[in-house]
Structure 1
Amino acid sequence: MTFKQICAGLLAAGLLSSMADAAVRPQLTRAVAYAEDKETTVGVINDSDSTYMLQSWLEDLQGRDSGIPLVLTPPVMKMEGKSEGKLRLMVMRGEIPQDRESVYWLSLQEIPPKAKDTANRLVVAVRSRIKVFVRPAGLTSEGARASAGALRWSLQREGSQTWLVATNPTPYYISFGRLTAGCGSCKKVTPDNKNTMVPPQGSQRYSLPSQAGTGAMKVTWSAMNDWGGAGEEHSQEVRP
């Protein structure tokens, strides 16, 4: 059994805590790697007083770790207490889509120091992960920031279920900071799957709860920027 398989088992058992509980964590909630850059650095911080080992690896959105067009170094590093470190990403330019962004998971697994007295003590393994957005030549931060305003919305109904459908004509992934919908007399609601990204040059639908109503409604949204903050707010009226 591999180390990552062990971590996955711990996660399923509830023994892996969230990023907020990690001693070692990434400085930002996402990273952007440009194919034209020699390398992209990802800062990591050890907030504890103890020395930790840090293992890092890359996966695609389906959890596969093979065929990733990025080189990550170092895969294992030692971090002293109250210290900062850097991971480096290098894009394999010829192996990424040239007309759109691609995205991968960067996982960070801290390995805690061995306790002097291990009797009756649970050592908790903590894993964090962030998205890495990879941009080919010609895609820019400014273009990504403007992409949210290019979204177009429509409604779909299947029986009693109503869906908001986002169509993205841009080459960028769009992640929502805010997404609500509501009619004039209805309470604004947030789709159940708001955290699902809209893929570049594609579409994504979002499930609305029943209290959203059945008539025309106003969709309000903002997208997350390259640093994980909320961008400009947009709105659009949609009708059945």
Structure 2
Amino acid sequence: MKRITLAALALGTLLLSAQTFGAVRPQLTRIVAYAADKETPIEVINESQETYLIQSWLEDLKGNENNLPLVLTPPVMKIAGKQEGKLRLVVLPAEIPQDRESVYWLSIQEIPPKAKDNENNKLVLAIRSRLKVFVRPEGLDGSKAADAVKSLQWDVERDGGEVWLKATNPTPYYISFGKLELKAGGANGTTLESKTVMPAPMSSQRYAVPKSFKGKSVTLTYSAVNDYGGETEVLNTGVRL
């Protein structure tokens, strides 16, 4: 079944109503898949009383769905009310980088049942969950992933009147920020807008500094999200912008 067809069905349901809820959700907020494992299960739960279809697919960080080194099954699944389902993710070990993590997006689109004739005033939203899939090659020790944020090196760059904070990540892990804030004096911290962009393994990433902080001595506060969706230790460092 084509995703465009399922989206059209979801939109038709969306136009029906006055009451909204999401029914199907993944049990975890992120997935960690090891190439050494035969497969990685992804558990999904339907919290409603109704039977739902779900459609699932993978993309890389640029939105490409083709020729990925992962296999996800089934692409379409039916889950009865108050029941759980399981997706299966298989890594193709020879096709992933062998010295660092890879990251992909997993989308899970719920397709609600068609409204009954006596439910004309009911709206059931078709919710899409999107979560990161971290893929680790054989030999990469996952126990060290949460400490990767401690290895970040921070520098200030100036370019065309703009100020940037550059995070250099010397580790083989992606770093997903929990906090990324600047604070000057006694003011509350200001979250950097681009904090959702991850420093890639063995690479650097720049973060734009708000103009109100230019020329000031500030405190940079940051943390990462660990494999279980929790926050790592919060770190602080002084920076002159």
Q: TM-score, normalised by structure 2?
A: 0.87
Partners of 1:189 and 1:208 within 8 A in 2 = no
Corresponding position of 1:23: 23
Q: Cα deviation per residue 1:57-78 (whole Å; 9 max; x = unaligned)?
A: 1111111110111111111111
Matched with 1:231 is 232
Distance (Å, rounded) in 1 between the aligned partners of 2:69 and 2:159: 39
Q: Deviations over 1:125-146 (max 9, x none)?
A: 2211111000001222222111
Mapped to 1, the partners of 2:5 and 2:220 lie a distance apart of 41
Give the structure 2 partner of residue 164 of structure 1.
Answer: 165
Question: Is contact 1:186-1:213 (8 Å) kept?
Answer: no
1:155–1:136 distance in 2 versus 1, CA, 3 Å? same
Q: CA shift at 1:123, angstroms?
A: 5.5
| Aligned partner of residue 230 in structure 1, secondary structure | coil
Q: Tell me what 2:153 maps to.
A: 152
Question: Which amino acid is 1:116 matched to?
Answer: K
Q: Which runs of 5+ in 1 are unaligned?
A: none
Distance (whole Å) between structure 1 residues aligned to residue 141 and residue 22 of structure 2: 32
Letter paired with 2:209: L
Name the amino acid aligned to 1:43.
Answer: E
Paired residues of 1:22 and 1:128 also in contact (CA < 8 A): no
User: Within 1, Cα distance between the matches of 2:199 and 2:73?
Assistant: 30
| Corresponding residue for residue 57 of structure 1 | 57
The match for 2:111 is 111
- Determine the structure 2 residue equivalent to 1:206: 207
Report the Cα offset of residue 91 of structure 1: 0.5
Letter in 1 for 2:232: G
Which string of whole-angstrom CA distances, capped at 9 and with x for unpartnered residues, describes residues 170-202 of structure 1? 111001111112344665321111111111111
Unmatched 5+ stretches in structure 2: none
**CA shift for structure 1 position 162:** 2.1
Query: How far off is 1:168 after superposition?
Result: 0.4
State the alpha-carbon separation in 2 of the partners of residues 21 and 121 from structure 1.
10
Contact 1:186 1:211 in 2 (8 A): no
User: Residues 185 and 77 (structure 1 numbering): CA distance in 2 closer, same or farther, change over 3 Å?
Assistant: closer
Aligned length: 234
Do 2:6 and 2:111's aligned partners in 1 also have CA atoms closer than 8 Å?
A: no
- Residue deviations 1:91-121, cap 9 Å, x none? 0000001111111111111111122228677
**Residue pair 1:189, 1:212 contacting (<8 A) in 2 also:** no
Aligned to 2:99: 99
In 1, Cα distance between equivalents of 2:223 and 2:69 = 30
**Corresponding residue number in structure 2 for 1:139:** 140
- In structure 2, how many angstroms separate the alpha carbons of the residues matched to 1:44 and 1:87? 8
DSSP-derived class of the 1:231 partner = coil
SS at match of 2:232: strand
Check whether the contact 1:73–1:88 (CA below 8 A) recurs between aligned residues: yes
Deviation at 1:124, TM superposition (A): 3.4
8 Å contact from structure 1 (residues 155, 164) kept in 2 = yes
Separation in 1 of the partners of 2:142 and 2:87?
A: 21
1:180 maps to: 181
Give distance in 1, aligned partners of 2:5 and 2:219: 44
- Show the counterpart of 2:89: 89
**Which residue identity does 1:71 align to in structure 2?**
V
Q: Percent identity?
A: 56
CA contact 1:54–1:109 (8 Å) conserved in 2: yes
| Alignment root-mean-square deviation, CA | 2.6
8 Å CA contact 1:182, 1:213 repeated in 2 = no
CA contact (8 A) 1:183 1:213 kept: no
CA distance in 2, matches of 1:173, 1:205: 15
**Which position in structure 2 is the counterpart of 1:216?**
217
